[in-house]
C-alpha cells in the first residue's frame, strides 16, 4: 500500500473510521507477507539457507523461494500450501519420522515451529525480497519507479534561470485543485522570510527600511536582496548547519575506552562545509570531495579539501567495532546523497528497493579498504622553523613508540597462536558447545589463549564442516562422536585420503581423546608451517620472488590453516592497537600509556592541524558477505563496486589496483546520469526553503517513499541545476525569485482553503515556518546586539549556554552527552544522521524560554541596545524592540497593551523593560516566519 | 518539516499502518474551542488493546546485581565453594575461578514460598506474593555499555530510542503538567549517560527528563522551573499578554495549528512550574510515610516516583546511582549488603504505598540490572563476581503481573538460563503487551525501515500475566 493512496483514502473518513475499515486493498495479503518477514524469513535465513541455499543445495532442496519449496528436493516437495501435515519441512523441524532439521544443535523452539505451521496453513506466503508492499509485480514496480528512471525534460521549456518555470508547474496544480493563490507578501515580511532562510538571522531595521523603500519593481528589489544575502558569509554558516545534520556532525566519538573521546580536528570539516557553501562550490565536486578528497588534491583548494573527509570519519566510533563504523559510513553516503536506505541490506536483501545484500557488501569492501592514517597529513603547509621541527620530532617519536609496541604485540600474538594451534583447536571445539553469545570485550592474562582467536577458530571449524574441508574431516567426526566411541571413530576416519603429515602425527601419538587429537593436529600444522617458511625463504634467496604455494599439496593444505588468507590466526592490524586482540591488563595499560603520549604530542600546542581523512589500503583486502549481517558467518566473496541498480545507467565501476573504490563511487554518485543525486539535492533545497519537499520523504526516494507532488518541476529543477554547474546559489535564487516563494501566508478566514489543502502541498499560499533552535537562539542574541560574528575555528562552549556568544554552529557537540535542552528543541542526536528534523512544541521548550538564563541575557541586551538608540520613553523603547524582533512597528493597540503591562510589573524601570523584551523574544511572531 | 506535517502526514506516514489508532488519536488531541487541531506530541493516546498497566516504574540496579545472592538460590555453590565447578566456567568479561557460595541466606516467603535472600528480606516478607521473579532472562554480552543499551533501548550498539521513549511515543502521557518520562539518578549519570533514556530518531519530546535526585530543593530538580527575577504573578501577566499577541498572530495566519500548538505549550509550561515543584515537595507527605520510605536518596526517589505515578506520569526510571554501583567485582558481600540496605526498605514501602492507593494494579514495576553476576569468583580473591549475561534474574510486579512465582531457571549453579529461557526482547515485548501495545505494531519509520523496540525479536510471555 503506497502511502499517498492510503492518505487519500482515509482523508474523507478521517475522524470516524480506522484505517483497516477503509480501503479496497487486501489486508490479508499484506499481513501474511508481514508475518513471513517477521517470523519465517529470519529463521530460513539463519537456520536453513546456509545449506539449502542457491549454490548446490543440500539434498537438492533450495529454500530460497516459494517455487523452490514447492518444487522440493530429492525427497519431493518441501511444503504443500494449506497442508502443514503434508509438508516435509514441518516434519523435519519437528524431528519426526526420522527427519531432523536443522541437523546439528537443538530443535527449534516450539513457537517457531508453530509459526511454520501457521505459515504453511495460511497459504505459504513467500514474497520476493524486493517485492513492494503494494503487491505489484516486483520487477515491474522497481523498473517503473519514478526515482530510478532518468530525469525527464518537461515541456514547455523555460530559460535556464527563469523563475516562471516554477510558477508554471505550481500554478497548474493549483488550478487543477480549484485553489486560489494568495498575492505576494508585503515587503517587510518578505525580507524577514528571505533573511531568516538564508542567514538564520532576521534583518536589521535599517535593512528593512532600505528594502521597503527600494523604488524598483518588487521583482527587481527582491532579486537585489537575494543577491546580497547569498553573498554574505552568514549564508555559508546557516546552510552548512543543514548539511551537518546529514553528516551527523559531532566533535566527539561517542563512548570510547582508551582513546581521547574528542576528534582532534573535527572543526576543520565544519569549516570546510561553511566554506563550500559560501564559495558556492559545485555540488558534484562537493560530494566527490567528501567521499574521496584524498584522490582529488590537485583541484582547487588542494590539500585544504582533505578536511572534506570528515563527512566519512566523524561518525560514532561504536567502541571501535569496525563493522558498525563501516555501516555508518555506507549510511552517510547513501541516504542523504541518494535517498536510499542501503543499510537495510546489511542483514538481508532490502525488502522494498532493489538493493541486495551483495550491494551492501560491495560498498562494505570499499570502506574496509579505506583506513584512517594514525598520523594524517597536515592540512596547511607545514612549519619549517626550529619549534615546528621539535614538535614534529616529538610526534614522530611518540608514534614510533606506539607503533613498535603494537606491531610487536601483534607479531607475538600470531606466533604464539601458531605454536599453540592444538590448544586453540580444542578451545574452539569446547566453545562451540557453550551457549551462543555475541562477541564481547574481555580482560585476560598474558598467557591465556586469546579469546578473539578462539572465536575465529570456532568460525573456521564451522566453515570446515559446512564445506567438508578435507583436512578437518577426521577432527569433526571425532568431535561429533560420543566420548566412548572416540577410538573407533578415529580409526574409521583415518584412511587413504587423510593428509599423510597429519596421519603420521596421529599414529605417532595414538590419541585417546579429543584433547590428545588436538595436539596431534597442532603439531602437524606447525610442522607444515615451518616447512613452508623455509621453502619461502629459499625462494626469496634464489631470487625467484615470493612463492604462492608449497610444492607439496599436503604441506600446503596444513600450512594454509596457520598462514592462509582464511586462517583463523589471521588478525586485522589496527595501528592504535585493538583491545579485543590485546585483552590482558598489562598490555592494555602499556597500550593506553603509549596512545596517551601519542595523542598528547599530536595535539600539543603549536602542533599542526591535520586532516581527519581516509586513505586507500595499498594492498587490498578482499571481503565477503556476512550472512544475516553476522561477521562470524562469512558468505561468498563480493567484488567492490557501486549499487547494481545503476547498472546500465552509469558506467561500470572498475576499481584500479591500489585503490579502495571510494573515488569510483564518488564519481558514480556525482555522475549527471545518476537519476537520484540531483533530484535528492534539489528536493532538499526545496525542503529547506518551504519546510517540506516536493518529495515529502527527503531521505527515502525508494519504493516506499512518497512520490513527488510535482514530478515535472522536480525534474526540470534537477536538470537545470546540473546545467548550471551544480550551483546551489543559482538554484536557491531561482526558487526564491518565483512568485510561489513570495506569496503571502493564508489570510484570516481561510477555513475553506485549509479544508481543501490542509497540508499546503499545492503551495497556493506560503507555509508558515517554525525556526529551529539555532535560528531562534542566534536571532535572540543578534537582535540583542550580543552575537559574536567570528567565523570558523575550533569548537568551544555550547550553544545552550548563556555565556557562549558565537553562532550556534560553532558550539561544541558531544554526541555522547548532548544537552537535554538541545534535544528538547529537536536538535538531532548526532549519532544517527538526520535527513529532516522533527518540529514539536512542548512545555519543555516554553519553560526554557520563560526561565533559562540565555533569555534573560538576551532580554537585557535588547533593552540596553534599544536604550542606546533613542528616547527612553516606554513606547519609544517598545517600538524599537518590536522593530528589532519583529521587523515592524507595534500597532497602537499593541502599544496600549504594552503600556498597561508595564504598569503591572513592579521594580525599577529596567526590570519592567526586561520583562517586555523577553515577551518579544518569546512571541510566536519572533519564532515563526510568515 | 513542520508541525502540521508532523500531525497529518508525518505521523501517519511514520506510524505506517501499524498504529492507526494512535495516529488518529494524536490528531484529535487537544481540540481547541476554535476547532483548530493543535498537536501535542505527548497527548494521551489509546493503546492497541485494553491495557493492564498504565505506568511503568523501572528500578535500575545499574552495575549488575548478583542473582545468586538475591533472587536465585543455588545451594550447590556451598558444596563447591572454593573449588572449581564440575562444568567449565563460561567466558565472561574477566577471568573467573572457583565457585563462590552466597554469603547471604535464603528463605521462603509468602504463601507462594518464593525464595529470596535476606538482602531483600523486607520486600520479600511484605510482597513475595506480588513478585514475578524471572530467573531465566539472558542478554547478549557481559559488558556494561552494550548491556545497558540492550536493556534500555533494545539494541546493544546502534542508536535506538529507549523503552520510556517508545512508551510515551505510543501512549502519550496523562498529565501534561509534568514530563511524561522521567529518569532519576542521584549524583550524576550512569555509564553511557543520557543515552540510557534517549529518544534517538524519535522526536526530542519523547526523551527522558533527567533529575539529579541528590539535589533536595524541588525547584532545582527540574531545569528552568523558576525565573530568577519574575515572580509567578508577574510571569502570569507576561504570559497573558504573550498569549493575547500569539492568538492575534494566529488569527492573522488563517488559524494555523502550529501556532495554536505553541500557544498551548506555554500554558502547559506555566502549570508545570507549580505542579512540578509540588510533585517533588515531599514535605507534603505525612512524616510516618516519609519515615517508612526512609529519609535517604533512594527513599526520596521512590516517594517522588509514587507522587509522579499518582499524577499520571507514564514512565519513571529510578537508578541506583552514578557510574555502576552494583558492579561488585570484589568485596561483594559488603557492597551488596550496603546497596540492598539502601533499596530493600524503600521498595517495600513503595509497593505497599502504591498498593494501598490502588495504584499498584495499574503500575508495572520492573526491578533488575543490565545483567547478573557469575556463580564463580573473580580471580584471585574469593570475594567478588564477574558480569554474567548468560542467565540472571529480574522481577516484575503490579499491573497485570501474576505474582508469587519464580519463572524459569538457570542451571544448577546459576551460570546460564536453562529452563524456559527468555531474552531481554521478550521482557520488552511482554511489558509493552501489559501496556496494551502490540510490540510488532508500535513502529516508527526511519531510514527506510519501520523500527520497533524489539527490532525483529520478542515474544510475549503469557505466563507472567494474570
Predicted pLDDT at A9: 31
Q: What's the gap between Cα A280 and its chain centre?
A: 25
**pLDDT tens digit sequence for A871-914:** 889 999 999 999 999 999 999 999 999 999 999 888 778 899 99
Minimum CA–CA partner of A439 in chain B: B141
**pLDDT tens digit sequence for A911-925:** 999 999 999 999 999
Residue B241 zone, left/alpha/beta (φ > 0; ψ -120 to 50; rest): alpha
Predicted pLDDT at A905: 86
Confidence of residue A526 (pLDDT cuts 50, 70, 90): very high
Q: Tell me the backbone φ, ψ of residue B123, rounded to 5 degrees.
A: -55, -45
- Bridging pattern class, strands B405-407 and B132-138: parallel
* Shortest CA gap A506–chain B (Å): 27
Average pLDDT over residues A802-813: 97
Quick one: cell of B47?
493503546
User: Reduced to 3 DSSP states, what percent helix, strand and coil does chain A have, rounded to the nearest 5?
Assistant: 55, 5, 40
Query: In the block, which residue shows the cell 501474511?
Result: A32
| Cα A226 from Cα A193, distance rounded (Å) | 11
Quick one: cell of B152?
534500555
Predicted pLDDT at B7: 39
Chain B positions touching A687 (Cβ under 8 A) are 1
Average pLDDT over residues A257-285: 95
A435 touching B, CB under 8 A?
Answer: yes
Q: Which parts of A670-797 fold into alpha helices (H)?
A: 677-690, 711-723, 728-736, 739-742, 751-756, 773-783
Which among A451, A759, A845 is the nearest to B5, CB-wise? A759
Quick one: cell of A653?
565501476
Predicted pLDDT at A436: 75
Which among A255, A435, A759 is the nearest to B8, CB-wise? A759
Least trusted range by pLDDT, from A226-235, A434-443, A730-739, B108-117 = A434-443
Chain B positions touching A909 (Cβ under 8 A) are none
In this structure, is residue B268 part of a structural domain?
no
Q: Tell me the backbone φ, ψ of residue B44, rounded to 5 degrees.
A: -60, 145
pLDDT over threshold 80, residue A134: no
Going by C-alpha positions, the residue among A774, A841, A848, A919 that lies closest to residue B259 is: A841
Predicted pLDDT at A131: 37
Predicted pLDDT at A139: 53
**Sign, Cα dihedral of B232, B236, B237, B241:** positive
**Mutation target vs B (from A697, A834, A842, A860; most B CBs, 10 A cutoff):** A842
| Cα A529 from Cα A519, distance rounded (Å) | 15
pLDDT over threshold 50, residue B19: no
Minimum CA–CA partner of A770 in chain B: B2
Least trusted range by pLDDT, from A233-237, A412-416, A508-512, B379-383 = B379-383
Interchain CB distance below 8 Å, A440 and B192? no
| Cα A648 from Cα A354, distance rounded (Å) | 14
User: Is A299 exposed, middle or buried (CB count within 10 Å of its CB: 0-12, 13-18, 19+)?
Assistant: exposed
Which among B28, B94, B176 is the nearest to A443, CB-wise? B94
Q: What's the gap between Cα A107 and its chain centre?
A: 38
Residue B385 near residue B377, CB atoms below 8 Å: yes
A700 touching B, CB under 8 A?
Answer: yes
| Cα A151 from Cα B404, distance rounded (Å) | 66
* Shortest CA gap A351–chain B (Å): 9
Average pLDDT over residues B33-61: 86
Contacts of A534 (CB under 8 A, 6+ apart): none
Residue A648 carries which DSSP code? T
**Sign, Cα dihedral of A294, A297, A303, A306:** negative
pLDDT over threshold 70, residue B346: yes
Least trusted range by pLDDT, from A98-112, A598-612, A851-865, B130-144 = A98-112
Going by C-alpha positions, the residue among B207, B402, B158 that lies closest to residue A827 is: B207
* Shortest CA gap A393–chain B (Å): 37
Interchain CB distance below 8 Å, A905 and B237? yes
* Number of DSSP helices (H) and strands (E) in chain B, helices first: 14, 18
Least trusted range by pLDDT, from A94-108, A140-154, B238-252 = A94-108
Interchain CB distance below 8 Å, B2 and A847? no
* Shortest CA gap B225–chain A (Å): 7
Confidence of residue B291 (pLDDT cuts 50, 70, 90): very high
Average pLDDT over residues A222-229: 98
Chain B positions touching A344 (Cβ under 8 A) are 447-449
pLDDT over threshold 60, residue A794: yes
Interchain CB distance below 8 Å, A440 and B93? yes
* Shortest CA gap A179–chain B (Å): 15
Residue B331 near residue B196, CB atoms below 8 Å: no
In this structure, is residue B5 part of a structural domain?
no
* Shortest CA gap A541–chain B (Å): 46
Q: What's the gap between Cα A285 and its chain centre?
A: 20
Interchain CB distance below 8 Å, B203 and A838? yes
**Sign, Cα dihedral of A521, A523, A528, A532:** positive
Residue A630 zone, left/alpha/beta (φ > 0; ψ -120 to 50; rest): beta
Task: Give the 3-state DSSP-derived string for A470-487, with helices as H, strands as E and coil as C.
Answer: HHHHHHHHHHHCCHHHHH
A212 touching B, CB under 8 A?
Answer: no
Predicted pLDDT at B37: 59
Average model confidence (pLDDT) for chain A?
Answer: 88
* Shortest CA gap B374–chain A (Å): 14
**pLDDT tens digit sequence for B383-420:** 999 999 999 999 999 999 999 999 999 999 999 999 99
Chain B positions touching A746 (Cβ under 8 A) are 253-254, 256
Does the N-terminal peptide bond of residue B380 adopt cis geometry, omega within 30 degrees of 0?
yes
Minimum CA–CA partner of B439 in chain A: A38
Chain B positions touching A921 (Cβ under 8 A) are none
Quick one: cell of A645?
541498480
Which among A451, A746, A904 is the nearest to B91, CB-wise? A451
Q: What's the gap between Cα B69 and its chain centre?
A: 23
Chain B positions touching A745 (Cβ under 8 A) are 253-254, 256
Quick one: cell of A768?
508558515
Residue B51 near residue B318, CB atoms below 8 Å: no
Indicate which CATH number applies to the domain containing B65.
3.40.720.10
Percent of chain A with pLDDT over 70: 94
Interchain CB distance below 8 Å, B234 and A836? no
Contacts of A737 (CB under 8 A, 6+ apart): A163, A219, A222, A223, A226
Predicted pLDDT at A1: 34
Chain A positions touching B456 (Cβ under 8 A) are 38, 42
Confidence of residue A141 (pLDDT cuts 50, 70, 90): low
Interchain CB distance below 8 Å, A748 and B237? no
What angle do the packed helices A357-368 and A322-338 form, to 10 degrees?
Answer: 110
> What's the domain count of chain B?
1
Give the angle A569-A574-A578 at the CA atoms, nearest 5°. Answer: 75
pLDDT over threshold 80, residue A203: yes
Q: What is the DSSP string of A117-157?
A: HHHHHTT-----TT--TT---HHHHHHH-GGGSPP---SS-
Chain A positions touching B272 (Cβ under 8 A) are 843, 847
Percent of chain B with pLDDT over 90: 74
**Max mean pLDDT range (A69-83, A435-449, A790-804, B265-279):** A790-804
Average pLDDT over residues A751-777: 89
More confident residue, B259 or A247: A247
Which among A20, A448, A918 is the nearest to B20, CB-wise? A20
**Mutation target vs A (from B29, B96, B204; most A CBs, 10 A cutoff):** B204
Give the global pTM.
0.84
Average pLDDT over residues B52-65: 98
Chain B positions touching A339 (Cβ under 8 A) are none
Interchain CB distance below 8 Å, B200 and A769? no
User: Is B50 exposed, middle or buried (CB count within 10 Å of its CB: 0-12, 13-18, 19+)?
Assistant: exposed
Confidence of residue A105 (pLDDT cuts 50, 70, 90): low
| Cα A731 from Cα A284, distance rounded (Å) | 14
Q: What is the DSSP string of A858-915?
A: HHHHHHHHHHTTS---HHHHHHHHHHHHHSSPPPHHHHHHHHHHHHHS-S-HHHHHHH
Minimum CA–CA partner of B202 in chain A: A838
In this structure, is residue B229 part of a structural domain?
no
Which among A18, A840, A894 is the nearest to B203, CB-wise? A840
DSSP element (H, E) containing A227 = helix A218-231
Average pLDDT over residues A248-272: 94
User: Is B214 exposed, middle or buried (CB count within 10 Å of its CB: 0-12, 13-18, 19+)?
Assistant: middle
**Mutation target vs B (from A30, A629, A850, A929; most B CBs, 10 A cutoff):** A850
* Shortest CA gap A772–chain B (Å): 10
- Taking every pair of Cα atoms in chain A, the longest distance, rounded to a whole number of angstroms, is 108
Q: Give contacts of A 259-318 with B, CB under 8 A.
A: 316, 318
pLDDT over threshold 80, residue A261: yes
* b (16+ CB within 10 A) / e for A30-58: bebbbbbbebbbbbbbebbbbbbbeeebb
Predicted pLDDT at A140: 57
Strand segments (E) across A476-633: 615-616, 624-626
**pLDDT tens digit sequence for A10-40:** 333 222 222 222 222 223 446 677 778 778 8
Minimum CA–CA partner of A752 in chain B: B254
Confidence of residue B30 (pLDDT cuts 50, 70, 90): very low
Confidence of residue A724 (pLDDT cuts 50, 70, 90): very high
Predicted pLDDT at A13: 28
Residue A660 carries which DSSP code? -
Interchain CB distance below 8 Å, B204 and A840? yes
* Shortest CA gap A356–chain B (Å): 15
Predicted pLDDT at A137: 45
A892 touching B, CB under 8 A?
Answer: no
In this structure, is residue B348 part of a structural domain?
yes
Amino acid at each position: 500500500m503506497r502511502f499517498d493512496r492510503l492518505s487519500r483514502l482515509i482523508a474523507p473518513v478521517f475522524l470516524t473510521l480506522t484505517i483497516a475499515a477503509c480501503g479496497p486493498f487486501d489486508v490479508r495479503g499484506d499481513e501474511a507477507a508481514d508475518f513471513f518477514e517477521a517470523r519465517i524469513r529470519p529463521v530460513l535465513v539463519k537456520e536453513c539457507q546456509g545449506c539449502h541455499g542457491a549454490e548446490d543445495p543440500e539434498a537438492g532442496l533450495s529454500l530460497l523461494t516459494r517455487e523452490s519449496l514447492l518444487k522440493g528436493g530429492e525427497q519431493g516437495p518441501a511444503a504443500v500450501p494449506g497442508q502443514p501435515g503434508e509438508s516435509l519441512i514441518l516434519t523435519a523441524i519437528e524431528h519426526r519420522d526420522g527427519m531432523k532439521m536443522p541437523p546439528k544443535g537443538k530443535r527449534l523452539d516450539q513457537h517457531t515451529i508453530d509459526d511454520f505451521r501457521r505459515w504453511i496453513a495460511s497459504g505459504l506466503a513467500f514474497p520476493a525480497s524486493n517485492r513492494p508492499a503494494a503487491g505489484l509485480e516486483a520487477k515491474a514496480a522497481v523498473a517503473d519507479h519514478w526515482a530510478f528512471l532518468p530525469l525527464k525534460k518537461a515541456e514547455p521549456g523555460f530559460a535556464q534561470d527563469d523563475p516562471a518555470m516554477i510558477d508554471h508547474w505550481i500554478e497548474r496544480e493549483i488550478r487543477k485543485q480549484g485553489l486560489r493563490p494568495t498575492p505576494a507578501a508585503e515587503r517587510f515580511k518578505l525580507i524577514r522570510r528571505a533573511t531568516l532562510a538564508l542567514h538564520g538571522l532576521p534583518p536589521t531595521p535599517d535593512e528593512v527600511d532600505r528594502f521597503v523603500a527600494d523604488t524598483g519593481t518588487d521583482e527587481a528589489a527582491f532579486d537585489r536582496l537575494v543577491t546580497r544575502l547569498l553573498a554574505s558569509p552568514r549564508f555559508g554558516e546557516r546552510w552548512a548547519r543543514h548539511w551537518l545534520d546529514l553528516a551527523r556532525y559531532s566533535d566527539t566519538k561517542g563512548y570510547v575506552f582508551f582513546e581521547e573521546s574528542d576528534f582532534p580536528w573535527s572543526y576543520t570539516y565544519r569549516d570546510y562545509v561553511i566554506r563550500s557553501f559560501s564559495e558556492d562550490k559545485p555540488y558534484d565536486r562537493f560530494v566527490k570531495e567528501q567521499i574521496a578528497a584524498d584522490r582529488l588534491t590537485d583541484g582547487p583548494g588542494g590539500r585544504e579539501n582533505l578536511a572534506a573527509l570528515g563527512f566519512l570519519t566523524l561518525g560514532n566510533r561504536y567502541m571501535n567495532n569496525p563493522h558498525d563504523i563501516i555501516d555508518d559510513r555506507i549510511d552517510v553516503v547513501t541516504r542523504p546523497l541518494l535517498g536510499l536506505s542501503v543499510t537495510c541490506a546489511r542483514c538481508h536483501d532490502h525488502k522494498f528497493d532493489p538493493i541486495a545484500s551483495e550491494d551492501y557488501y560491495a560498498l562494505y569492501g570499499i570502506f574496509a579498504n579505506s583506513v584512517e592514517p594514525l598520523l594524517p597529513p597536515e592540512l596547511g603547509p607545514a612549519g619549517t622553523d626550529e619549534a615546528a621541527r621539535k614538535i614534529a620530532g616529538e610526534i614522530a617519536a611518540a608514534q614510533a613508540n606506539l607503533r613498535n609496541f603494537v606491531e610487536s604485540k601483534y607479531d607475538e600474538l600470531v606466533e604464539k597462536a601458531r605454536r599453540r594451534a592444538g590448544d586453540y583447536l580444542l578451545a574452539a571445539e569446547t566453545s562451540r558447545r557453550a551457549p551462543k553469545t555475541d562477541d564481547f570485550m574481555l580482560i585476560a592474562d598474558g598467557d591465556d589463549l586469546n579469546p578473539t582467536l578462539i572465536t575465529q577458530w570456532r568460525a573456521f571449524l564451522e566453515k570446515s564442516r559446512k564445506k567438508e574441508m578435507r583436512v578437518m574431516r577426521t577432527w569433526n567426526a571425532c568431535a561429533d562422536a560420543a566420548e566412548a566411541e572416540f577410538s573407533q571413530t578415529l580409526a574409521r576416519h583415518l584412511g587413504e585420503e587423510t593428509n599423510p603429515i597429519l596421519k603420521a602425527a596421529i599414529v605417532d601419538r595414538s590419541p585417546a581423546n579429543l584433547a590428545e587429537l588436538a595436539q596431534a593436529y597442532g603439531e602437524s600444522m606447525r610442522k607444515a608451517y615451518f616447512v613452508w617458511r623455509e621453502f619461502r625463504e629459499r625462494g626469496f634467496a634464489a631470487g625467484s620472488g615470493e612463492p604462492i604455494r608449497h610444492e607439496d599439496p599436503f604441506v600446503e593444505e596444513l600450512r594454509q590453516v596457520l598462514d592462509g588468507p582464511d586462517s583463523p590466526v589471521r588478525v586485522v592490524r589496527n595501528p592504535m592497537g585493538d583491545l579485543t586482540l590485546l585483552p590482558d591488563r598489562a598490555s592494555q595499560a602499556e597500550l593506553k600509556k603509549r596512545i596517551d603520549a601519542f595523542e598528547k604530542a599530536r595535539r600539543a600546542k603549536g602542533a599542526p592541524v591535520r586532516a581527519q581523512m581516509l586513505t586507500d589500503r595499498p594492498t587490498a583486502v578482499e571481503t565477503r558477505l556476512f550472512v544475516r549481517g553476522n561477521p562470524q558467518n562469512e558468505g561468498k566473496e563480493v567484488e567492490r563496486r557501486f549499487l547494481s541498480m545503476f547498472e546500465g545507467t552509469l558506467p561500470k565501476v572498475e576499481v584500479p589496483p591500489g585503490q579502495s573504490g571510494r573515488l569510483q563511487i564518488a564519481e558514480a554518485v556525482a555522475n549527471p546520469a545518476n537519476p537520484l543525486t540531483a533530484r535528492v539535492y534539489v528536493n532538499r533545497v526545496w525542503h529547506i526553503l518551504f519546510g517540506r519537499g516536493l518529495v515529502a520523504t527527503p531521505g527515502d526516494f525508494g519504493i516506499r517513499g512518497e512520490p513527488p507532488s510535482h514530478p515535472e518541476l522536480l525534474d526540470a529543477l534537477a536538470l537545470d541545476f546540473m546545467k548550471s554547474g551544480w550551483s546551489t546559489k543559482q538554484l536557491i535564487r531561482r526558487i526564491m525569485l518565483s512568485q510561489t516563494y513570495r506569496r503571502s501566508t493564508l489570510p484570516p478566514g481561510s477555513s475553506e482553503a485549509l479544508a481543501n489543502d490542509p497540508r499546503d502541498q499545492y503551495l497556493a499560499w506560503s507555509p508558515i515556518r517554525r525556526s529551529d533552535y539555532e535560528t531562534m537562539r542566534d536571532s535572540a542574541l543578534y537582535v540583542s546586539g550580543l552575537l559574536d560574528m567570528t567565523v570558523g575555528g575550533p569548537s568551544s562552549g555550547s550553544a545552550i549556554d548563556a555565556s557562549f556568544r558565537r553562532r550556534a554552529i560553532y558550539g561544541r557537540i558531544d554526541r555522547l552527552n548532548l544537552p537535554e535542552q538541545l534535544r528538547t528543541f529537536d536538535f538531532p542526536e548526532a549519532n544517527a544522521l538526520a535527513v529532516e528534523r522533527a518540529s514539536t512544541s512542548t512545555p519543555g521548550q516554553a519553560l526554557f524560554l520563560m526561565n533559562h538564563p540565555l533569555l534573560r541575557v538576551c532580554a537585557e541586551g535588547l533593552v540596553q541596545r534599544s536604550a542606546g538608540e533613542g528616547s527612553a520613553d516606554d513606547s519609544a523603547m517598545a517600538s524599537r524592540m518590536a522593530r528589532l524582533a519583529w521587523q515592524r512597528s507595534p500597532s497602537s493597540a499593541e502599544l496600549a497593551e504594552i503600556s498597561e503591562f508595564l504598569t503591572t510589573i513592579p521594580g525599577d524601570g529596567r526590570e519592567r523593560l526586561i520583562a517586555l523584551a523577553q515577551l518579544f523574544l518569546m512571541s510566536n511572531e519572533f519564532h515563526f516566519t510568515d | 518539516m513542520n508541525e502540521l506535517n508532523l500531525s497529518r502526514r508525518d505521523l501517519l506516514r511514520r506510524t505506517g499502518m501499524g498504529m492507526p489508532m494512535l495516529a488518529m488519536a494524536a490528531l484529535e488531541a487537544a481540540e481547541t474551542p476554535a476547532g483548530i487541531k493543535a498537536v501535542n506530541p505527548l497527548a494521551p493516546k489509546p493503546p492497541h488493546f485494553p491495557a493492564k498497566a498504565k505506568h511503568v516504574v523501572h528500578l535500575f540496579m545499574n552495575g549488575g546485581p548478583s542473582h545468586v545472592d538475591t533472587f536465585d538460590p543455588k545451594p550447590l555453590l556451598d558444596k563447591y565453594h572454593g573449588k572449581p565447578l564440575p562444568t567449565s566456567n563460561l567466558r565472561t568479561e574477566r577471568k573467573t575461578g572457583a565457585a563462590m557460595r552466597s554469603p547471604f541466606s535464603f528463605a521462603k516467603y509468602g504463601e507462594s514460598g518464593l525464595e529470596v535472600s535476606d538482602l531483600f528480606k523486607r520486600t520479600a516478607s511484605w510482597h513475595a506474593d506480588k513478585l514475578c521473579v524471572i530467573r531465566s532472562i539472558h542478554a547478549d554480552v557481559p559488558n556494561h555499555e552494550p548491556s545497558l543499551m540492550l536493556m534500555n533501548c533494545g539494541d546493544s550498539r546502534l542508536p535506538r530510542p529507549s523503552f520510556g521513549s517508545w512508551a510515551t511515543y505510543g501512549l502519550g502521557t496523562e498529565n501534561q503538567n509534568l514530563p511524561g518520562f522521567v529518569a532519576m539518578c542521584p549524583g550524576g549519570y550512569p555509564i553511557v549517560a543520557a543515552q540510557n533514556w534517549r529518544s534517538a530518531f524519535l522526536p526530542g519530546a519523547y526523551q527522558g527528563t533527567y533529575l539529579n535526585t541528590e539535589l533536595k530543593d524541588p525547584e532545582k530538580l527540574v531545569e528552568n522551573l523558576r525565573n530568577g527575577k519574575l515572580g509567578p504573578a508577574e510571569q502570569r501577566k507576561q504570559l497573558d499578554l504573550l498569549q493575547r499577541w500569539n492568538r492575534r498572530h494566529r488569527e492573522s495566519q488563517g488559524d494555523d495549528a502550529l501556532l495554536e500548538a505553541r500557544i498551548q505549550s506555554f500554558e502547559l509550561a506555566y502549570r508545570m512550574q507549580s505542579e512540578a515543584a509540588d510533585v517533588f515537595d515531599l514535605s507534603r507527605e505525612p512524616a510516618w510515610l516519609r519515615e517508612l520510605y526512609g529519609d535517604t536518596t533512594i527513599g526520596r526517589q521512590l516517594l517522588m516516583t509514587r507522587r509522579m505515578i499518582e499524577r499520571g506520569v507514564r514512565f519513571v526510571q529510578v537508578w541506583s546511582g552514578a557510574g555502576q554501583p552494583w558492579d561488585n567485582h570484589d568485596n561483594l558481600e559488603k557492597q551488596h549488603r550496603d546497596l540492598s540496605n539502601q533499596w530493600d526498605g524503600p521498595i517495600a514501602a513503595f509497593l505497599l504505598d502504591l498498593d494501598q492507593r490502588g495504584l499498584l494494579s495499574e503500575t508495572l514495576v520492573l526491578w533488575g540490572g543490565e545483567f547478573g553476576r557469575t556463580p564463580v569468583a573473580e580471580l584471585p580473591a574469593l570475594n567478588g563476581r564477574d558480569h554474567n549475561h548468560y542467565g540472571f534474574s529480574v522481577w516484575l510486579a503490579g499491573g497485570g503481573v501474576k505474582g508469587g512465582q519464580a519463572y524459569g531457571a538457570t542451571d544448577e549453579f546459576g551460570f546460564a538460563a536453562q529452563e524456559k529461557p527468555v531474552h531481554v526482547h521478550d521482557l520488552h515485548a511482554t511489558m509493552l503487551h501489559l501496556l496494551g501495545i502490540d510490540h510488532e505494531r508500535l513502529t516508527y519509520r526511519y531510514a527506510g525501515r519501520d523500527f520497533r523496540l524489539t527490532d525483529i525479536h520478542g515474544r510475549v510471555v503469557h505466563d507472567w500475566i494474570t
